[in-house]
Structure 1
Amino acid sequence: MTSSKVYLITGGNRGIGFELVKELSKDENNYIIATVRDPSKNDEFKVFSESKKNVSTVKLDLDKDSDIESLGNQLGKLTDKVDVFISNAGISDAYHKVVEAPKEVYITHYRVNALAPVFIFQKVYPFLKKSETKKAIFVSTAGASFSDFKPICVSAYASSKAALNFSVLQLSSELANEGFIIFAVHPGMVLSDMGNMAFEKLPRNMPDMKKYFAARVTPITPNESALSVQKVIEASDSQYNGKFYYYDGSEHEF
């Protein structure tokens, strides 16, 4: 069995995922497997990953069934276990009111944000079972919270993440007796490519959105988010199972 602590991070080539790869790989006892849609793309992540002995990549497009189906075989060539699975990859491009959102926007967001993480977990599950750690963290959003509903026009994005949250609850219940620790985390309002796009598009849909964000949301950088999420993951134990945490470590209701 692989002696290093093995992390699998989906969407590890940009934004929060890339920052998590950078921070976790600083510890040579960690082995990071990052999924990317196009491993051949010559970008900053590829240069970084090729310079690190403890970082590997696998091809995974969440919108391609063939990529998900091949994930187990790809992982098996690199490791015999996964200690920590971070389901980070997703999309957010649903800046519409519900009554205006195109059908395809809903279908795409549910396929990528709600369904793909579940099917990916099914492939990762046999590797997690071989670990003593057995942690699975699903990156969600405060915008999907029922208990703290926010009047933001993110239609399919928020509801797809709410669907993901329910799967997190189901998995945490089903696998608790096997020693799994499964929970969701809100990474903050992050100034990544995705977050910057939100700041550009949301005000056009709701004129008061800038005022809302200024009053209630403090944007953070991808690195600040990654460092905070890393602390939450490292602090997590069996008490975290089936819960929803914000990047600052506070617990919130779904």
Structure 2
Amino acid sequence: MTSSKVYLITGGNRGIGFELVKELSKDENNFVIATVRDPSKNDEFKVFSESKKNVSAVKLDFDKDSDIDGLGGQLGKLTDKVDVFISNAGISDAYHEVVEASKEDYFTHYRVNALAPVFIFQKVYPFLKKSDIKKAVFVSTAACSFSEFLPLRVSAYGSSKAALNFSVLQLSSELVNEGFTIFAAHPGMVSSDMGKVGLEKLPQIVPDIEKYFADSLVVITPEQSALGLSKVIEASDSQYNGKFYYYDGSAHNF
């Protein structure tokens, strides 16, 4: 159906996801499909996507099983394969210690950050199998690292992303013999809408936050994050499988 290099990006209408769409669609040989909750919403993404022949959108609300179940049908109308799947959509809106976090904090973060990416990958898998590239990149976070633990009081967010990382490792092991390259990526401390909330709240919760970072608390823009991630994704090969990379190209332990 298409000879272009096909990217599928979840949460492609805002923040890092939108910047990835803009960055990757600069190459007219790429066809970029973004998932959005409401494709009819008259926002910046809609204006942009309608101005680009190589950008399209599909409806996907993580809270609706019918949207996840119907994703394959929507993709099938646009392409017969997906070369690169970027699982970008996620949430981080609970800044509590473990003893204070609510059930809803945990349930919501696990549903969106840990479970939905797996269920969506299951629907995308048949399209990835038809590609010669077969890449899946799951946007994770340094905040869930075991080897470089950061006491940031984001228990629901951090643990849900740690659960996602386990699925990344599991998938990378299960599908390596099928030629897949599957890895996790940290986008950096980003001044997106979601990131700005964290940047405002975390210093209040962890007053000495800067001492937990190697240099300083470096904040980057969504554009910088997307540019870095796109370079990492483009450079990735079989050696990246089952690994954890930062947006700057450096490899880290989970």
Under TM normalisation by the shorter chain, which class is it?
Answer: over 0.9
Is the counterpart of residue 24 in structure 1 residue 30 in structure 2?
Answer: no
| Equivalent pair of 2:168/2:242 in contact (CA under 8 Å) | yes
Distance 1:205 1:67 in 2: 37
Distance 1:134 1:43 in 2: 31
Distance 1:195 1:66 in 2: 29
CA positional deviation for 1:205:
2.1
For 2:82, the equivalent position in structure 1 comes to 82
- Whichever residue aligns with residue 79 of structure 2, its letter is T
Distance 2:37 2:113 in 1: 15
For 1:157, the equivalent position in structure 2 comes to 157
Equivalenced residues, count: 254
Q: How does 1:25-40 map to 2 (within 5 A)?
A: 25-40=25-40
Distance 2:104 2:174 in 1: 32
Distance 1:164 1:56 in 2: 27
Distance 1:182 1:214 in 2: 27
- Whichever residue aligns with residue 114 of structure 1, its letter is A
TM-score normalized with structure 1 length: 0.97
CA positional deviation for 1:214:
9.7
CA positional deviation for 1:211:
6.1
For 1:96, the equivalent position in structure 2 comes to 96
Per-residue deviation, residues 182-202 of structure 1 (Å, max 9, x unmatched): 000000000100110101121
Q: How does 1:220-239 map to 2 (within 5 A)?
A: 220-239=220-239
Distance 1:203 1:227 in 2: 27
Per-residue deviation, residues 192-241 of structure 1 (Å, max 9, x unmatched): 00110101121232233366569542110000000000000000000000
- Whichever residue aligns with residue 204 of structure 2, its letter is R
For 1:193, the equivalent position in structure 2 comes to 193
| Equivalent pair of 2:210/2:217 in contact (CA under 8 Å) | no
Distance 2:143 2:210 in 1: 16
For 2:174, the equivalent position in structure 1 comes to 174
Distance 2:80 2:90 in 1: 26
CA positional deviation for 1:62:
1.4
CA positional deviation for 1:45:
0.6
SS class of match (2:136): strand
Distance 1:149 1:210 in 2: 14
| Unaligned residue ranges in structure 2 (runs of 5+) | none
Distance 1:82 1:250 in 2: 26
- Whichever residue aligns with residue 241 of structure 1, its letter is N
For 1:146, the equivalent position in structure 2 comes to 146
TM-score normalized with structure 2 length: 0.97
| Unaligned residue ranges in structure 1 (runs of 5+) | none
What fraction of aligned residue pairs are identical, expressed as a percent? 82
Distance 1:63 1:215 in 2: 38
Q: Cα gap change, 1:213/1:41 in structure 2, threshold over 3 Å: closer, same or farther?
A: farther
Is the counterpart of residue 208 in structure 1 residue 208 in structure 2?
Answer: yes
Distance 1:219 1:121 in 2: 30
Distance 2:236 2:194 in 1: 27
- Whichever residue aligns with residue 74 of structure 1, its letter is Q
Is the counterpart of residue 121 in structure 1 residue 121 in structure 2?
Answer: yes
Aligned CA-pair RMSD: 1.2
| Equivalent pair of 2:150/2:212 in contact (CA under 8 Å) | no
Distance 2:220 2:130 in 1: 36
**Which 4+ stretches in 1 moved above 4 angstroms?**
210-215
SS class of match (1:90): coil
